[in-house]
Amino acid sequence: MSTHSIASAREHRVTVRTLAARKRRGERIAMLTAYDFAFARIFDAAGIDCLLVGDSLGNVVQGHDTTLPVTLDEVVYHTRLVARACRRAMVIGDMPFGSYQASPEDAVRSAIRLVKEGGAQAVKLEGGIGSAVAIARIAAADIPVLGHVGLTPQSIHRMGGYRVQGRTDGERARVIADAQAVEEAGACAVVLEGMPAELAGEITRRLSIPTIGIGAGAGCDGQVLVMHDMLGLNDWTPSFVKQYADLGALAAKAARAFAEEVAGGKFPGPEHCYQAS
Ligand code: KIV
């Protein structure tokens, strides 16, 4: 590969430099979750900037009630599928519960696995002040890292459910301090989840790194949605989600048509059959 083609391949790929430039220029960042090759290829070609292999795979792929059972091996596996499909989008591997909380060394080892075995270009972990040392150590290993503050699903038992954060003065101060700690620790961006729009806007103005909102209003530098929510693949949709398609209904209709045609002997037709010669 010539120096020129290395340079143009790099220019093409969304990197930490792209994210920083978007923040400077006030241009928004679009992020979706993805868990497999097929959807990652579609989203990458559609121009989605970042694909997050979220630990939400515990809910939407594995059918658990929480993200807590998801293992690092599982996220590494799904990250590999997504990374294989991506030409332009930045692939972010989510660090599951238990892969970074015990020690900063654990955090660095887990992040290295997501990059080395999964092919991620960045990792994400939950928590603010409490995760600052882990973020700093991962960043020191030259791995771009995103923070995640506000409603952090891995803290479901501490929060007492999936509750919007930052509605009281005390909670508001804590969410702001968490976001600032993430930036000071060296994160390249931060996900703001489940908080009043006004608070997310305030954090976005205070931070010099991009904020990516989910259930955090329109004042963030970017937005992320779980693909199953925005494509209508779940049996319910949270109120902060806009459903852009109803693939669940389409898939059910297709499956019913298939079953009927099999029962009625209409499929396969002659055009679907191999001939002897
Ligand atoms: O796991 C995930 O999908 C996430 C997003 C909701 C930000 O963390």
SS (H, E, C) 22-41: HHHHCCCEEEEECCCHHHHH
Q: Cα-flanking dihedrals φ and ψ of residue 29, to 5°? A: -115, 130
Please write the tens of the pLDDT for every residue from 213-261. 999 999 999 999 999 999 999 988 999 999 999 999 999 999 999 999 9
Q: How far is the CA of 53 from the centre of ligand 1 (A)?
A: 8
- Mean pLDDT, the chain, rounded, equals 96
Q: Which residues are catalytic?
A: 193
- From the CB of 146, is ligand 1 less than 6 Å away? no
- The mean pLDDT value for 137-153 works out to 98
Residue-wise pLDDT for 13-55, tens only, equals: 999 999 999 999 999 999 999 999 999 999 999 999 999 999 9
**Residue 223 pLDDT:** 98
- The structure's pTM equals 0.95
Residue 113 has pLDDT above 60, yes or no: yes
Q: Which pLDDT score, from 0 to 100, does residue 261 have?
A: 98
pLDDT band at 4 (very low <50, low <70, confident <90, very high): low
Closest residue by CA, ligand 1 atom 3: 54
Confidence band of 6 (pLDDT split at 50, 70, 90)? low
CA of 3 to the centre of ligand 1 (A): 37
Confidence of residue 12 (pLDDT cuts 50, 70, 90): confident
Residue 74 CA to residue 78 CA, distance in Å, equals 6
Q: Look at residue 189 and give its three-state secondary structure.
A: strand
How large a percentage of the chain has pLDDT more than 90? 94
